[in-house]
Amino acid sequence: MQSARSTSSMAASKASHHQERADLTAAFRWAARLNFHEGVANHFSVAVNEDGTQFLMNPNQSHFSRIKASDLILVDANDPETMNRPNAPDPTAWGLHGALHRQCQHARVALHVHSIHATVLATLQDPRLPPIDQNCAMFFNRYVIDTEYGGLAFEEEAERCCQQLSDPNKKVLVMCHHGVMVIGDDVADAFNRLFYFERAAETYIKALWTRQPLRVLPDEVAEKTAKDLEDYPGQAERHFAELKAILDHEEPEYAQ
Protein backbone atom coordinates (compact mmCIF):
# COMPACT_ATOMS: atom_id res chain seq x y z
CA MET A 1 0.00 0.00 0.00
CA GLN A 2 1.30 3.46 -0.87
CA SER A 3 1.97 5.88 1.95
CA ALA A 4 0.13 9.21 2.09
CA ARG A 5 3.46 10.92 1.41
CA SER A 6 4.10 8.76 -1.67
CA THR A 7 0.60 9.37 -3.01
CA SER A 8 0.95 13.10 -2.38
CA SER A 9 4.34 13.15 -4.12
CA MET A 10 2.93 11.40 -7.20
CA ALA A 11 -0.01 13.80 -7.36
CA ALA A 12 2.30 16.79 -7.07
CA SER A 13 4.51 15.41 -9.86
CA LYS A 14 1.52 14.99 -12.17
CA ALA A 15 0.31 18.51 -11.41
CA SER A 16 3.68 20.14 -12.03
CA HIS A 17 4.79 21.74 -15.28
CA HIS A 18 1.23 22.06 -16.52
CA GLN A 19 2.02 24.18 -19.58
CA GLU A 20 4.78 21.86 -20.76
CA ARG A 21 2.50 18.86 -20.20
CA ALA A 22 -0.38 20.37 -22.16
CA ASP A 23 1.87 21.46 -25.03
CA LEU A 24 3.66 18.13 -25.35
CA THR A 25 0.36 16.26 -25.20
CA ALA A 26 -1.01 18.46 -27.98
CA ALA A 27 2.04 17.49 -30.04
CA PHE A 28 1.30 13.80 -29.42
CA ARG A 29 -2.34 14.19 -30.42
CA TRP A 30 -1.47 16.05 -33.63
CA ALA A 31 1.31 13.62 -34.52
CA ALA A 32 -1.34 10.89 -34.40
CA ARG A 33 -3.75 12.93 -36.52
CA LEU A 34 -1.06 13.55 -39.12
CA ASN A 35 -0.01 9.89 -39.16
CA PHE A 36 3.48 10.68 -37.93
CA HIS A 37 3.19 8.03 -35.18
CA GLU A 38 4.05 4.33 -35.37
CA GLY A 39 1.72 2.19 -33.31
CA VAL A 40 2.72 2.64 -29.68
CA ALA A 41 6.35 3.32 -30.54
CA ASN A 42 8.11 6.70 -30.95
CA HIS A 43 8.58 9.29 -28.25
CA PHE A 44 8.69 13.00 -27.41
CA SER A 45 10.25 14.86 -24.50
CA VAL A 46 10.41 18.36 -23.04
CA ALA A 47 13.05 19.54 -20.55
CA VAL A 48 11.76 21.20 -17.37
CA ASN A 49 14.92 22.22 -15.49
CA GLU A 50 17.70 24.64 -16.37
CA ASP A 51 20.31 22.18 -17.61
CA GLY A 52 17.69 20.07 -19.41
CA THR A 53 18.42 16.81 -17.62
CA GLN A 54 14.94 16.49 -16.08
CA PHE A 55 12.28 16.00 -18.69
CA LEU A 56 8.72 14.92 -19.34
CA MET A 57 8.03 12.15 -21.84
CA ASN A 58 5.31 9.72 -22.87
CA PRO A 59 4.65 6.61 -20.79
CA ASN A 60 5.71 3.27 -22.21
CA GLN A 61 3.59 1.74 -24.98
CA SER A 62 0.86 4.42 -25.04
CA HIS A 63 -0.82 5.45 -28.27
CA PHE A 64 -0.24 9.11 -29.09
CA SER A 65 -3.95 9.69 -29.70
CA ARG A 66 -4.88 8.73 -26.11
CA ILE A 67 -2.17 10.45 -24.08
CA LYS A 68 -3.27 13.08 -21.55
CA ALA A 69 -1.16 15.75 -19.89
CA SER A 70 -1.32 13.95 -16.54
CA ASP A 71 -0.04 10.71 -18.14
CA LEU A 72 3.40 12.11 -18.92
CA ILE A 73 6.21 10.80 -16.77
CA LEU A 74 8.97 12.93 -15.25
CA VAL A 75 12.44 11.40 -15.52
CA ASP A 76 16.01 12.45 -14.83
CA ALA A 77 18.68 11.76 -17.45
CA ASN A 78 21.26 11.38 -14.68
CA ASP A 79 19.26 8.84 -12.66
CA PRO A 80 20.66 5.33 -13.28
CA GLU A 81 17.66 3.75 -11.50
CA THR A 82 15.11 5.07 -14.02
CA MET A 83 14.60 1.75 -15.81
CA ASN A 84 14.17 -0.15 -12.53
CA ARG A 85 11.01 1.73 -11.56
CA PRO A 86 7.43 0.50 -12.18
CA ASN A 87 6.63 3.43 -14.50
CA ALA A 88 9.88 3.15 -16.49
CA PRO A 89 9.79 4.53 -20.04
CA ASP A 90 10.36 2.50 -23.18
CA PRO A 91 14.04 1.38 -23.19
CA THR A 92 14.86 3.00 -26.53
CA ALA A 93 13.00 6.15 -25.52
CA TRP A 94 15.10 6.30 -22.37
CA GLY A 95 18.22 5.66 -24.42
CA LEU A 96 17.61 8.39 -26.99
CA HIS A 97 16.08 11.09 -24.83
CA GLY A 98 18.26 10.44 -21.82
CA ALA A 99 21.38 10.71 -23.99
CA LEU A 100 20.14 13.80 -25.80
CA HIS A 101 19.16 15.73 -22.68
CA ARG A 102 22.48 14.86 -21.02
CA GLN A 103 24.57 15.85 -24.03
CA CYS A 104 22.70 18.77 -25.58
CA GLN A 105 21.46 21.43 -23.17
CA HIS A 106 20.10 23.43 -26.12
CA ALA A 107 17.68 20.59 -26.97
CA ARG A 108 14.79 21.70 -24.80
CA VAL A 109 12.31 19.59 -26.77
CA ALA A 110 12.99 16.41 -28.74
CA LEU A 111 10.53 14.71 -31.10
CA HIS A 112 11.41 11.32 -32.56
CA VAL A 113 9.16 9.73 -35.18
CA HIS A 114 9.25 7.27 -38.06
CA SER A 115 7.04 9.47 -40.24
CA ILE A 116 6.80 8.00 -43.73
CA HIS A 117 8.61 10.48 -45.94
CA ALA A 118 11.37 11.41 -43.49
CA THR A 119 11.99 7.69 -43.01
CA VAL A 120 12.10 7.07 -46.76
CA LEU A 121 14.68 9.85 -46.97
CA ALA A 122 16.71 8.11 -44.25
CA THR A 123 16.85 4.91 -46.35
CA LEU A 124 18.37 6.50 -49.45
CA GLN A 125 22.01 6.07 -50.39
CA ASP A 126 22.09 9.86 -50.60
CA PRO A 127 19.72 11.11 -47.86
CA ARG A 128 20.33 14.80 -48.43
CA LEU A 129 17.31 17.09 -48.81
CA PRO A 130 18.07 19.45 -51.70
CA PRO A 131 16.36 22.88 -51.69
CA ILE A 132 13.89 22.22 -54.50
CA ASP A 133 11.10 24.33 -52.98
CA GLN A 134 10.55 26.79 -50.14
CA ASN A 135 9.83 24.09 -47.54
CA CYS A 136 12.97 22.16 -48.46
CA ALA A 137 15.00 25.38 -48.39
CA MET A 138 13.85 25.93 -44.80
CA PHE A 139 16.30 23.20 -43.77
CA PHE A 140 19.29 24.22 -45.87
CA ASN A 141 22.43 23.80 -43.73
CA ARG A 142 20.17 23.14 -40.72
CA TYR A 143 20.04 19.37 -40.49
CA VAL A 144 22.56 16.59 -40.00
CA ILE A 145 22.68 13.09 -41.44
CA ASP A 146 23.67 10.06 -39.42
CA THR A 147 25.28 7.60 -41.84
CA GLU A 148 25.50 4.67 -39.42
CA TYR A 149 23.00 2.34 -37.81
CA GLY A 150 23.85 0.05 -34.94
CA GLY A 151 20.46 -1.46 -34.17
CA LEU A 152 17.84 -0.37 -31.64
CA ALA A 153 18.65 2.84 -29.81
CA PHE A 154 19.64 1.35 -26.50
CA GLU A 155 22.12 3.33 -24.47
CA GLU A 156 25.36 2.88 -26.47
CA GLU A 157 23.69 3.41 -29.85
CA ALA A 158 21.64 6.29 -28.43
CA GLU A 159 24.74 8.08 -27.12
CA ARG A 160 26.33 7.78 -30.57
CA CYS A 161 23.23 9.08 -32.37
CA CYS A 162 22.72 12.07 -30.10
CA GLN A 163 26.29 13.28 -30.51
CA GLN A 164 25.20 14.27 -34.02
CA LEU A 165 23.04 17.07 -32.57
CA SER A 166 25.80 18.80 -30.59
CA ASP A 167 25.75 21.80 -32.98
CA PRO A 168 22.88 24.09 -31.86
CA ASN A 169 22.40 25.21 -35.48
CA LYS A 170 21.50 21.67 -36.61
CA LYS A 171 18.03 20.92 -35.32
CA VAL A 172 17.04 17.91 -37.41
CA LEU A 173 18.79 14.54 -37.38
CA VAL A 174 18.08 12.22 -40.30
CA MET A 175 18.66 8.88 -38.60
CA CYS A 176 20.14 6.23 -40.88
CA HIS A 177 17.51 3.49 -41.46
CA HIS A 178 15.52 4.90 -38.54
CA GLY A 179 13.42 8.02 -39.12
CA VAL A 180 14.06 11.48 -37.76
CA MET A 181 14.79 13.35 -34.52
CA VAL A 182 13.78 17.02 -34.36
CA ILE A 183 14.75 19.37 -31.54
CA GLY A 184 13.60 22.86 -30.61
CA ASP A 185 13.50 25.65 -28.06
CA ASP A 186 9.95 24.76 -27.01
CA VAL A 187 7.19 22.44 -28.15
CA ALA A 188 5.76 24.89 -30.70
CA ASP A 189 9.18 25.41 -32.26
CA ALA A 190 9.97 21.70 -32.46
CA PHE A 191 6.55 20.61 -33.72
CA ASN A 192 6.49 23.27 -36.41
CA ARG A 193 9.92 22.07 -37.56
CA LEU A 194 8.77 18.43 -37.55
CA PHE A 195 5.68 19.30 -39.56
CA TYR A 196 7.61 21.16 -42.23
CA PHE A 197 10.42 18.63 -42.44
CA GLU A 198 7.94 15.86 -43.16
CA ARG A 199 6.24 18.08 -45.76
CA ALA A 200 9.60 18.91 -47.35
CA ALA A 201 10.62 15.25 -47.42
CA GLU A 202 7.29 14.36 -49.04
CA THR A 203 7.78 16.96 -51.77
CA TYR A 204 11.28 15.70 -52.49
CA ILE A 205 10.35 12.00 -52.52
CA LYS A 206 7.40 12.64 -54.83
CA ALA A 207 9.56 14.80 -57.09
CA LEU A 208 11.94 11.83 -57.41
CA TRP A 209 9.02 9.67 -58.51
CA THR A 210 8.62 11.77 -61.67
CA ARG A 211 12.18 10.86 -62.77
CA GLN A 212 12.49 14.32 -64.23
CA PRO A 213 15.51 16.54 -63.52
CA LEU A 214 15.12 18.56 -60.31
CA ARG A 215 15.27 22.35 -60.31
CA VAL A 216 17.46 23.05 -57.26
CA LEU A 217 17.75 26.51 -55.75
CA PRO A 218 21.20 28.15 -55.72
CA ASP A 219 22.92 27.91 -52.34
CA GLU A 220 22.71 31.64 -51.67
CA VAL A 221 18.96 31.73 -52.33
CA ALA A 222 18.38 28.62 -50.22
CA GLU A 223 20.35 30.10 -47.31
CA LYS A 224 18.49 33.42 -47.57
CA THR A 225 15.16 31.58 -47.59
CA ALA A 226 16.12 29.49 -44.56
CA LYS A 227 17.23 32.60 -42.65
CA ASP A 228 14.06 34.50 -43.58
CA LEU A 229 11.90 31.61 -42.38
CA GLU A 230 13.86 31.35 -39.12
CA ASP A 231 13.19 35.04 -38.50
CA TYR A 232 9.55 34.96 -39.63
CA PRO A 233 7.64 36.55 -36.72
CA GLY A 234 5.59 34.20 -34.59
CA GLN A 235 4.96 31.56 -37.25
CA ALA A 236 5.65 28.49 -35.09
CA GLU A 237 3.78 29.91 -32.11
CA ARG A 238 0.70 30.82 -34.17
CA HIS A 239 0.72 27.48 -35.97
CA PHE A 240 0.82 25.55 -32.70
CA ALA A 241 -1.75 27.82 -31.04
CA GLU A 242 -4.18 27.02 -33.86
CA LEU A 243 -3.55 23.30 -33.46
CA LYS A 244 -4.22 23.55 -29.72
CA ALA A 245 -7.39 25.56 -30.37
CA ILE A 246 -8.71 22.71 -32.51
CA LEU A 247 -7.91 20.23 -29.74
CA ASP A 248 -9.52 22.49 -27.14
CA HIS A 249 -12.73 22.22 -29.16
CA GLU A 250 -12.58 18.60 -30.31
CA GLU A 251 -10.49 16.74 -27.68
CA PRO A 252 -10.38 18.96 -24.58
CA GLU A 253 -9.43 16.04 -22.34
CA TYR A 254 -5.90 16.09 -23.79
CA ALA A 255 -4.90 18.84 -21.32
CA GLN A 256 -6.20 17.02 -18.24
81 lies in a domain? yes
Q: Please, what's the b/e burial string for 121-160 (b: 16 or more CB within 10 A of its CB; e: otherwise)?
A: bbeeeebebbbbbbbbbbbbebbbbbeeeeeebeeebbbe
248 within some domain? yes
Comparing C-alpha atoms, which of 88, 35, 46 is closest to residue 198?
A: 35
Q: What's the pLDDT tens digit per position in 108-124?
A: 999 999 999 999 999 99
Asked whether residue 109 is domain-assigned, the answer is yes
> What per-residue confidence (pLDDT) applies to 4?
40
Query: Per the domain annotation, does 3 fall within a domain?
Result: no
User: Looking at the 3D structure of the chain, how many domains does it have?
Assistant: 1
Helix %, strand %, coil % of the chain (to 5): 50, 15, 35
Pairing of strands 179-184, 109-113: antiparallel
Q: Is residue 4 part of a domain?
A: no
pLDDT of residue 5: 41
Q: What is the pLDDT of residues 171-203, one digit of tens each?
A: 999 999 999 999 999 999 999 999 999 999 999
For position 19, what pLDDT does the model report?
96
Which stretches in the chain have pLDDT values below 50? 1-11
What's the half-sphere exposure (Cβ side, CA atoms, 13 Å) at 99? 20
| Domain-embedded: residue 20 | yes
Q: What is the pLDDT of residue 154?
A: 82
Q: Is 218 contained in some domain? A: yes
- Do the Cβ atoms of 99 and 129 come closer than 8 Å? no
pTM of the model: 0.92
The type of residue at 167 is: D
CATH (domain of 182): 3.40.225.10
Residue 129 lies in a domain: yes
Predicted confidence at residue 16, as pLDDT, reads: 85
Domain that includes residue 29, residue range: 9-255
